[in-house]
Amino acid sequence: MKNLRPYTKNPMYWEHDGKPRVLLGGSFQDNPWQWAGENLPALLKHLDILKDAGGNYIRCTISSRRHAFPYCDTSMAYPFRHLADGRYDPTQWNEDYFERLRVFLAACDERDIVAQLEIWDTYSVTGGQGAWDKHAWNPANHVNGNGRNIALPNVRAAFFTPAAAQDPVLGELQRRYVRKTLETSFEFGNVLYQLDNESPWPHDYSDYWATFIHECARARGKEVFVCDSRRYHSKSFTEKEFRTWAHPENAHPITNSQIYNFCDISQNGGNIDDTHYENLLWYRAKVREHKPRPINHVKMYGFIWPTGEEWGWEKNYRYAPNEKVNRSGWRFWRSIFGGAASIRFHRDNCEKAETGYVDTNTNGGGMGLSPGAQRHIRSMRMLLDAMHIFTMEPRNDLITSTRAPNQAFVLAEPGRQYAVYFTGATGSNKATLAVEPGRYAVNWLDILNAAWGTESVLDLTGDCALEAPSGDSQWAALLKRHA
């Protein structure tokens, strides 16, 4: 089994099969494992497209929704046995549900793709009445009906609370279900564990399930890695500033490293430009201060959703479809240049998994695995293969020229290697970089065409004036010490 763990020489990154890895991904949906049923050939083709583009990371929400808006579960499996009269028996498994997950994880493992598995999906249960009316967890849909098998008076409202875990009926059903899911995933060494999607629930609820997962793993002699990806937008929080230790969404997962042994801050992906980048640097410094470990981003949005704002604010501005692709691409690159361990383009909801085609009418919120997303993944992998990011640090302070907001971002191992990402957002892709004197090989990566230029060798005495071949596109410059 291929082991997945924080990199021993730099635990801010991952190590998979004995080698340090930066995890890059994109996918058409957040629960692609469900397509391992009748749509298996399309799913396998989708995974092949991801691998061919240089991707090695995918999201795996354990949900039964095909579309979130409006809710649709066509061809989706539920965990409990579905009876002829339309009801579910929660004491019997639907083995097809877990077989789909097993087939999906095996297919990912064969392709060296890491799956970040989200145990619960809040919004497939609480996201709308249409979902709950059909859901296998709704006690009204169980064999004894009318909720009589659940002690809690309102199971939907209480499902994601500490009270649920203590409920004599619901709590045991939940534990039994999670154990069954883990029995399936523990067969593989390419799985990370996330408790929920944008969790808005009390931290003691998350603590309960994180502890439970670790206990199940220890019983199997396994070490697993668990995160709690928080929502940052709850109405109960008055704090709208990301960079504050007073925000409980920051402090609790970071300080409780014994159960949250990696982090995920996908919700920072709703912020823009330098704010997005500086938030990551601040969070990264806090993680290092307490216990260094990887910071993942299992979804990178195309829309704007600033920290603290409720979903639906200024809807026309959130999406701005003609700018969505640039925002996704900029965030993708800024995240890696800010020291992120992983990044994945959020779903585009396209139905054509076998081609990665993006249907611009679906408004899924990200680039998915569209051709544009593939170009970014491929270019990033080309850059990562050409340098050793695991010894580099974010170093925008090395830019000695005037820098416009969201213009350029730097990674450096001074005296050995420097990388500069130019967004093309300002119309000026040039900057002066302070480097240690010496001879350097310099090359330019045309990001949107995934193509390197011609390498040149320069003798530098302290400053290097960089200007990309064009000012209105995305470029990366790489300088490496020349022998």
Domain map of the chain by residue range?
4-389, 393-481
Could you tell me the pLDDT band of residue 306, with boundaries at 50, 70 and 90?
confident
* Mean pLDDT to the nearest integer, 427-442: 96
Nearest CA to 446 out of 454, 436, 438 is that of: 454
The pLDDT, as a whole number, for residue 188 is 97
* Mean pLDDT to the nearest integer, 252-259: 97
Could you give the residue ranges of the DSSP H alpha helices within 59-121? Answer: 95-110
The pLDDT, as a whole number, for residue 366 is 86
Model pTM score: 0.94
DSSP state of 357: -
pLDDT tens for residues 73-116? 888 999 999 999 999 999 899 999 999 999 999 999 999 999 99
Could you tell me the pLDDT band of residue 314, with boundaries at 50, 70 and 90?
low
- DSSP states along 386-399: HS-GGG-EE-GGGB
Q: Is the peptide bond before 70 cis (omega within 30 degrees of 0)?
A: yes
Least confident of 132-146, 359-373, 392-406, 466-480: 359-373
The label of the residue with tokens 């583009």 reads 53
pLDDT tens for residues 8-43? 999 999 999 999 999 999 999 899 999 999 899 999
The strand pair at 417-422 and 408-413 is best described as antiparallel
pLDDT at 431 over 80: yes
CATH architecture under which domain 4-389 falls: Alpha-Beta Barrel (3.20)
CATH architecture under which domain 393-481 falls: Sandwich (2.60)
3-state secondary structure of 11: strand
The pLDDT, as a whole number, for residue 207 is 95
The pLDDT, as a whole number, for residue 322 is 52
Q: Are 103 and 36 within 8 A, CB to CB?
A: yes
